Amino acid sequence: MQRRVFLKYSAFGSMLAFFTGPNLHANLLENKSLLGFKAIDASTEDNIVVPDGYEAKLLISWGDKLFSKAKPYDENKLIDDEAVKNASFVFGDNNDGMSFFSLSKTRAILAINNEYINPEIMFNHQGKELSKEDVLYEQKSLGVSIIEVQKKGDTWELVEDSKFNRRIDAHTKMKVSGEAKNEVLKGQKFVYGTLNNCSNGKTPWGTYITCEENIDDFFGSSDENINFNKGQKRFGFKTKSKYGWEKFDERFDLAKNPNEANRFGWIVEIDPFDAKSTPIKRTSLGRFKHENAEIIIEKDGSVIIYMGDDEADEFIYKFVSKHKFKKGMDTSKILDEGILYVGQFNGKLGDMRGSGKWIALEFGKNGLTEQNGFKNQADVLINARLAGSIVGATPMDRCEWIASHKESGSKEVFATLTNNKSRKEPNAANPRVKNIYGQIIKWSPKNSHKDEDFSWEIFALAGNPDNQSTLNKGSNNITSKNKFNSPDGLAFDKDGRLWIQTDGDYSNKGDFEGMGNNQMLAADVKTGEIKRFLTGPIACELTGIAFDEDYTTMFVGIQHPGEKLAPSHFPHGANTTPRSSVIQIRKLDGGVIGS
């Protein structure tokens, strides 16, 4: 491994960003910026750039061995029976959301999603001549990777053959629970696999939450004249799927197995401490294109889960548990019993703030009746999107991650609305038609997250202040120095820095000129200040954030460098296949990241 390739410092000194916000001014005068690092410039280089005084190192890449019996990544890309078997013992592809579970000061478990695959990178035929083996190899290369890591000196390393190491993929046996359980199981005891595991959540009782997003990409129909029902249409199923699995595996053929698609699109709970545990699909949290799950424990122990649906003009959801969480209790029913709500964001167009309402998605209430096509609560949950439309939810600009600095007692909740290029009708919270840049919105309840009412405000409207006019310039905290597009990953650290990751247009041209490759920024949510912290390699998306216990290491996901055959050779350099990877960032003085 060429660690030196990774070690890259910004060649530029700090430039005080230009802001107009009065709060920011006051804060700067007091010289107490939460963001203590020197902002870096945009970059189009095929590497990781971090601020002066920081270093980035590789932790693990797609195809790296989790067990000594596995074979290392094969640059010849020979896909045979052996390669298919081997895929179960190596790190999965396209890593996304992840959580850190501490075992001791120097040992931990990382649970890491492997969202999807890139056939153009994975195969010599670039996906053009798919075989049954290829599909099996793909099915075993996604899902979730659970790994043990150990800190040696300053550096975290994989523990090969750890009892915690595990791959979960499209074939793994899963339980189903919650109010749509019987409808989903349809007489089976178990279902098999998890798909398109986007981002994540971490429960206070020590389990990992993985979120199933674009599951329609894996299902098609052998009958070209199939009549999709309303729910299937709304989810986006097509006769010809993106990955073509239906041609090799009947399970993904909607003409033959229409119910199989109802077994995906859920929140899945995994016990990362037991590699033999059976993951559980939690149907009471609704079925849609789940991005992440931000979990907040209210003072009375109620478990609140905010969840976004990443599709143009879809909704934001909230779950409120019936059971109150207490340390040491039986937590097995917490995610099964409670009320799912959907968000309505009201206000006057142009105000950039307003009020809102959480509306319950309960069968028999708010128009969710037989007359409107719902048979029961299971039907409401499986078709949460249709239910949301009936109760008057607000179509959003593709909600990606949701994050709250709950440890501080703050009631504010932030969410990335990544972009919505097809928006025709603006609304107060989504004020731009053909939104190419995205925005970060925040909301807060007056008293408790159990409240049905909330107020909201746009925290940052991304844009290009250098070549755009009106709203596409972006909000005042977007400048020539920090401009970006398509905010996606979002997480708070313990001090309240809001870390932002982008998954946007990396052409660095036209509307996106000066934004460079996808990147990571940090925001001080009290002042509105935003600074660029990291830039990724060519054609990657930055996604996945986790910290070690003392916040001196930040783990970051580099997803699909070189996608669509863009010229990346990250992480191993010339003549190697670009591979999705998890990297670790450290401050050279051992301090807290971002301080």
CA distance 552 to 567: 32
- CA-closest candidate to residue 249, choices 134, 357, 169, 147: 134
In degrees rounded to 5, what are phi and psi of residue 135? -65, -40
Which of 260, 269, 291, 379 touches ligand FEO (CB under 6 A)?
A: 291
Decide whether 47 or 113 has the Cβ nearer to ligand FEO: 113
Q: What is the DSSP letter of 273?
A: T
397 touching ligand FEO, by CB under 6 A? no
Question: Quick one: 244 or 544, whose CB is closer to ligand FEO?
Answer: 544
Size of the site for ligand FEO (CB under 6 A): 7
Which entry of Ca ion, ligand FEO, none binds 563, CB below 5 to 8 A by partner kind? none
The answer to whether the beta carbons of residues 164 and 271 sit under 8 Å apart is no
Closer by beta carbon to ligand FEO, 36 or else 343: 343
Q: Which is nearer to ligand FEO, 312 or 360 (CB)?
A: 312
Number of residues that bind Ca ion (CB under 5 A): 5
Among 64, 134, 179, 400, binds ligand FEO (CB under 6 A): 400
The contacts found for 183-190 with CB under 8 angstroms, 24 or more apart, are: 183/262, 183/378, 183/379, 183/382, 184/259, 184/262, 184/263, 184/281, 184/283, 184/378, 184/382, 186/259, 190/278
C-beta closer to ligand FEO: residue 179 or 311: 311
CA distance 387 to 391: 6
Minimum distance between the CB of residue 341 and ligand FEO, rounded to whole angstroms?
A: 21
x/- site string to ligand FEO, residues 73 to 112, per CB under 6 A?
Answer: -----------------------x----------------
Determine, following the binding rule CB under 6 A, whether residue 115 of this chain makes contact with ligand FEO.
Answer: yes
Rounded to the nearest whole angstrom, what is the least distance from the CB of residue 543 to Ca ion in the complex?
5
Q: Which is nearer to ligand FEO, 24 or 440 (CB)?
A: 440
From Ca ion, ligand FEO, none, interface partner of 213 (C-beta below 5 to 8 A by class):
ligand FEO
Amino acid present at 357:
K
The answer to whether the CB of 323 falls within 8 A of the CB of 330 is no
CA distance 216 to 288: 10
Residue 503 or 524: the one with the smaller Cβ distance to Ca ion is 503
Nearer to ligand FEO (CB atom), residue 40 or residue 462: 462
Q: Is 400 in the site for Ca ion (CB under 5 A)?
A: yes
Distance between CA atoms of residues 84 and 76, nearest Å: 14
The string over 331-358, giving b where at least 16 C-beta atoms fall within 10 Å of a residue's C-beta and e elsewhere, is beebbbebbbbbbbbebeeeebebebbb
Token pair of 501 as six digits: 């990751």
**Beta carbons within 8 Å of 134's beta carbon, 6+ residues apart:** 79, 119, 123
Binding mask 493-532 for Ca ion (x = CB under 5 A): ----------x-----------------------------
What is the CA 191 to chain-centroid distance, rounded? 23
- Alpha-carbon gap, residue 416 to 141, rounded angstroms: 28
Q: Is 488 in the site for Ca ion (CB under 5 A)?
A: yes
Residue 570 Cβ, how far from Ca ion at the closest point, in Å?
A: 15
For the bound state, the minimum distance from the C-beta of residue 213 to Ca ion, rounded and expressed in Å, comes to: 8
Look at residue 541 and give the partner it binds from Ca ion, ligand FEO, none, a contact being a CB closer than 5 to 8 Å depending on partner kind.
Answer: Ca ion
Q: Does 213 bind ligand FEO (CB under 6 A)?
A: yes
Task: Tell me which of 198, 334, 471, 593 binds ligand FEO, using CB under 6 A.
Answer: 198
Tokens 């972006």 locate to 474
User: Is 310 near ligand FEO (CB under 6 A)?
Assistant: yes
Helices (H), 374-504: 377-382, 384-391
Least distance in angstroms from the C-beta of 94 to ligand FEO: 9
Considering the complex, state which of residue 46 and residue 400 has its C-beta at the smaller distance from ligand FEO: 400
Residues 532-591 that bind Ca ion (CB under 5 A): 541, 559
Phi-psi region of 102 (alpha: psi -120 to 50; beta: other; left: phi over 0): beta
Min separation Cβ 292 and ligand FEO, Å: 9
In the 8-state DSSP scheme, what is residue 176?
E
Q: How far is the CB of 344 from Ca ion (least distance, A)?
A: 24
Q: Binding partner of residue 179 among ligand FEO, Ca ion, none, CB under 5 to 8 Å per kind?
A: none
How far apart are CB 371 and ligand FEO at their closest, in Å? 34
Q: How far apart are CA 513 and CA 534, in angstroms?
A: 18
Nearer of residues 415 and 538 to ligand FEO, judged by Cβ: 415
Beta strands in 161-257 (DSSP E): 166-168, 173-177, 191-192, 197-202, 208-212
In degrees, rounded to 5, the angle at the alpha carbon of residue 519 between the alpha carbons of residues 594 and 434 is 130
Quick one: 73 or 437, whose CB is closer to ligand FEO? 437
The token pair at 87 is 């895929």
Strands 173-177 and 280-282: parallel
Shortest distance, position 215 Cβ to ligand FEO, whole Å: 11
Residue closer to ligand FEO by CB (options 253, 400) is 400
Interface ranges with ligand FEO (CB under 6 A):
96, 115, 198, 213, 291, 310, 400
Interface ranges with Ca ion (CB under 5 A):
400, 488, 503, 541, 559
